[in-house]
Amino acid sequence: MKALRKFIDKQKPHFEKGGKFHWLGSTFEGIETFLFVPNTVTTKGAHIRDAIDMKRVMTVVIIATLPALIFGMWNAGYQHFLSLGQTADFWQNLGYGAMKIVPIIIVSYAVGLGIEFYFAQIKGHEINEGYLVTGMLIPLIVPPDIPLWILAVAVAFAVIFGKEVFGGTGMNVVNPALIARAFLFFAYPGDMSGDKVWIAEKADTYSGATPLGNALVGNFDHFHSFTDMFMGFIPGSVGETSTLMILIGAVVLLATGIASWRIMLSVFAGGYIMGLLFNWWGANQYMELPAYYHLVMGGFAFGAVFMATDPVTSAQTQRGKWIYGFLIGMIAVLIRVFNPAYPEGMMLAILLLNVFAPLIDHYVIESNIKKRLKRLKVVANS
């Protein structure tokens, strides 16, 4: 390690101001701080600091996505061979899935990080770690058969217009990973919806409909069982199918305290209660679907655990988080059941509430301000 450190110290002057590669300064800095936690010491304020930094926070989120990712790879292979009527063992399934999904991850990171580095460079900033998570989330919410060039366009759009124009990580209004997905959804609907895209290279005769797709057209005769949906043996986006794996990720996020349990709990509660309301109404077969089915179908669990909990785009006050999460759950199920065009409502529900989160916070904070003014008035009148 010492030799590496020495090498970096020797190269450093070339990348600093006045050096011949100064235009690559942020990139060099990004690589250096990736390898070594810098030797910066506290100069102002508290003299000691917590060992945690943004890289650590982001790493924990990435670790939390791994169960869903690995299962997603296996499931991509499993669904593919199932549609062909072939049987394959665990490693064949996983290997096939990896061949499909690893390129997606590579494209996602290469395009996204490339843009991040470029923007950091022209702004003269350090490189933000935010994309480390976004770059992992995007492959998990796209179909395994997504054309890579379309993915690259979507990632570029999301990073530039979803994040960088607002000032980078911490400043964005809506979740960049969902921006990428929304872009794909509206710009390339043929590659993002319908019954054909959810299984990689499936046989034409085999129905590749997701549970949500079946539910929307009222096909409840060949509906997947609750166990299949919970375990994830269903077609769908790469990381969304297995509620079990997502819950393992949720445990990691909650145990480390990185994600808000308030948001997760309230999203599930909102979805469940909306499902119950529909059960009670019961105007059609979809409404009569048991409420807990909604929690394991489609991207509901993935959205609740990994998307809604993004601290930058969610509500920031504690009470705001309850309201925010609850509305996401309710609106997601509402869109699923009522909107004939969109089988899945989670993406749209989260994007909508991302936009409304500052408003929710505004009213929560307003009540804090009112309380303070009231105390002032009580004193003034006494």
Partner 1 sequence: MSTIYFVKKGLDIKLIGEAEKTIVDLDAKRFAVKPPDFIGCFPKMLVKEGDPVKAGTPLFFDKYRENILFTAPVSGKFVELKRGAKRKILELIIESDGKHESIDFGKADIASLDKAAVTEKLLKSGVWPLIRQRPYSIIANPDDAPKSIFVSAFDSSPLAPDYDLMLKGKEKEFQAGLDVLTRLTAGNVHLNVHKDLNGSDLFTNAKNVQVNTFAGPHPSGNVSVHISRVDPINKGDVVWYVDAQDVAVIGKLFLTGEYDSSRVVALTGSEVMKPKYYRAHIGANITNMVVNNINGDNNRFISGNVLTGTKIESDGFIGFYDSQITVIPEGDYYEFFGWALPGFGKWSFSKTFPAWLSPNKKYRLDTNLHGGERAFVVTGLYEKVFPFDIYPMQLMKAMLVEDIDLMENLGVYEIDAEDFALCEVIDPSKINMQEIVRNGLEMMRKEMS
The CA-based diameter of the chain, rounded to the nearest angstrom, is 83
> Cα–chain-centroid distance for residue 308?
8
Query: Using CB under 8 A, which residues numbered 212 to 271 contact partner 1?
Result: 255-258, 260, 262
Out of 18, 371, 381, 382, the residue judged to bind partner 1 by CB under 8 A = 371
Report the run of H or E that residue 152 belongs to, with start and end.
Answer: helix 148-162
Task: Confirm if 85 and 203 have CB atoms less than 8 A apart.
Answer: yes
Out of 3, 51, 283, 341, the residue judged to bind partner 1 by CB under 8 A = 51
- Binding residues with partner 1: total (CB under 8 A): 60
128 binds partner 1 (CB under 8 A): yes
3 binds partner 1 (CB under 8 A): no
Q: How far is the CB of 46 from partner 1 (least distance, A)?
A: 5
Out of 18, 20, 41, 149, the residue judged to bind partner 1 by CB under 8 A = 41
129 binds partner 1 (CB under 8 A): yes
Give the CA radius of gyration of the chain. 23
Q: What whole-number distance in Å separates Cα of residue 172 and Cα of residue 351? A: 12
What contacts 112, CB < 8 A, 6 or more positions away?
131, 134, 135, 138, 155, 156, 158, 159
Q: How far is the CB of 292 from partner 1 (least distance, A)?
A: 28
Q: What whole-number distance in Å separates Cα of residue 241 and Cα of residue 244? A: 9
169 binds partner 1 (CB under 8 A): yes
Contact region with partner 1 (CB under 8 A), list: 71-79, 89-97, 338-346, 360-368 = 360-368
CA distances (Å), origin 9, targets 1, 3, 29, 125, 215: 12, 10, 11, 20, 60
| Of 52 and 148, CB closest to partner 1 | 52
Q: What whole-number distance in Å separates Cα of residue 208 and Cα of residue 222? A: 12
Task: Give backbone dihedrals phi and psi of 288, rounded to 5 degrees, phi first.
Answer: -85, -5
Task: Give backbone dihedrals phi and psi of 21, rounded to 5 degrees, phi first.
Answer: -110, 30
| Of 76 and 174, CB closest to partner 1 | 174
Contact region with partner 1 (CB under 8 A), list: 290-298, 314-322, 332-340, 344-352 = 314-322
| Of 219 and 256, CB closest to partner 1 | 256
Query: Using CB under 8 A, which residues numbered 316 to 335 contact partner 1?
Result: 316-318, 321
Q: What whole-number distance in Å separates Cα of residue 80 and Cα of residue 198? A: 10
195 binds partner 1 (CB under 8 A): no
| Of 4 and 148, CB closest to partner 1 | 4
44 binds partner 1 (CB under 8 A): yes
> Cα–chain-centroid distance for residue 227?
24
10 binds partner 1 (CB under 8 A): no
Residues in contact with partner 1 by CB under 8 A are 1, 4-5, 33, 35-42, 44-57, 59-60, 126, 128-130, 167-171, 255-258, 260, 262, 311-312, 314, 316-318, 321, 361, 365, 368-369, 371-373, 375-376, 379
